[in-house]
Amino acid sequence: MAETLTLKAEARTKSSKGAVRSIRLAGRVPAVIYGDKKSPELISVDYKAVNTLYQTGTFTSHLLNIDIDGKVERVIPRDVQREVVRDFIIHVDFLRLGKNATLTVDVPVHFINHEASPGLKAGGVLNIVRHEVELVCPAESIPEAIEIDLTGYEMGTSIHISAVKFAQGVRPTISDRDFTVATIAAPAAVVSAESSAGAAATADAAAAPAGGAKAAAPAAGAKAAAPAAGAKAPAGKK
């Protein structure tokens, strides 16, 4: 389970464009806390602090304690808005979490022990089908990442979600099938060469006459039939 971090925040009372602009010029990010059947709460957080957390790649699946002038709210980031041109954070939405809250979150997939996979050692390629998996889990049990051990996987095999052991109460949102997370695939050059060889063999087989049969040839010395000498064409009717 990921460690719960604390993020300092300040309460704000205005949401006008001018007030929001002033907050950003001061090096802070306007944000809001909502949920748990309580009124939304306007806050601002330090830009550097929130950007550092965002750069980890797990920000929106990370449980946080927001400290607002001594009052602590347990939250999870739900939406991060970025400036289109200059690509910096301009607003964050935090979901307030009540007691025994259950969440749906996207959790990144990490692969370990690449060197212990016979398929990869033989030149195979790890083809990642899902970089993230959507999970339903208690707020206190959000995994920081889904870790998959590649030990023993041969070339041509698939790694399914059933290979992952989840903590109690944690489950994938897809429950009707054992979906594929990754495969150990043959190198593209090998696959291409095998495909080309197979295509050539198929073409040769199609070109060869069935059963080795040969076209019939005229008997030696045989001549085409000719009209009898003196024969005349049938006379036309009058």
The residues that bridge with 127 in the sheet, in sequence order, are 183
Q: CB under 8 Å to 51, separation ≥6 — which residues?
A: 88, 89
Sketch the domain layout of the chain as residue ranges.
5-98, 104-189
Task: Tell me if domain 5-98 and domain 104-189 are identical in fold.
Answer: no
- 3-class secondary-structure state, position 40: strand
Note the pTM of the prediction, 2 decimals: 0.67
* Residues 129-172: tens digit of each pLDDT: 999 999 999 988 888 899 999 999 999 999 999 999 999 999 99
Would you call 125 exposed, middle or buried from its count of C-beta atoms within 10 A (0-12, 13-18, 19+)?
middle
**Does the pLDDT at position 236 exceed 70?**
no
Which has the closest alpha carbon to 7: 74, 90, 99, 98?
Answer: 74
Give dist(CA 96, CA 6) in Å, integer: 14
Mean pLDDT over residues 189-194, rounded? 48
Neighbours of 157 (CB within 10 A): 16
Q: Domain 5-98: give its CATH code.
A: 2.40.240.10
Q: Residue 66 carries which DSSP code?
A: E
**Does the pLDDT at position 36 exceed 80?**
yes
Q: Tell me what pLDDT residue 201 has.
A: 52
CATH superfamily of 104-189: Ribosomal protein L25, C-terminal domain (2.170.120.20)
Which pairing describes strands 158-160 and 180-185: parallel, antiparallel, or unpaired?
A: antiparallel
> pLDDT class for 219, splitting at 50, 70, 90?
very low
Q: Tell me what pLDDT residue 61 has.
A: 85
Token output for 18: 């001018």
Q: Residue 209 carries which DSSP code?
A: P
Mean pLDDT over residues 17-35, rounded? 95
Q: How many helices (H) and strands (E) does the chain have?
A: 4, 13
As a dihedral over the C-alpha atoms of residue 169, residue 173, residue 175, residue 181, rounded to 10 degrees, the angle is: -100
What is the average pLDDT score of the chain?
84
**Does the pLDDT at position 216 exceed 70?**
no
The residues that bridge with 42 in the sheet, in sequence order, are 32
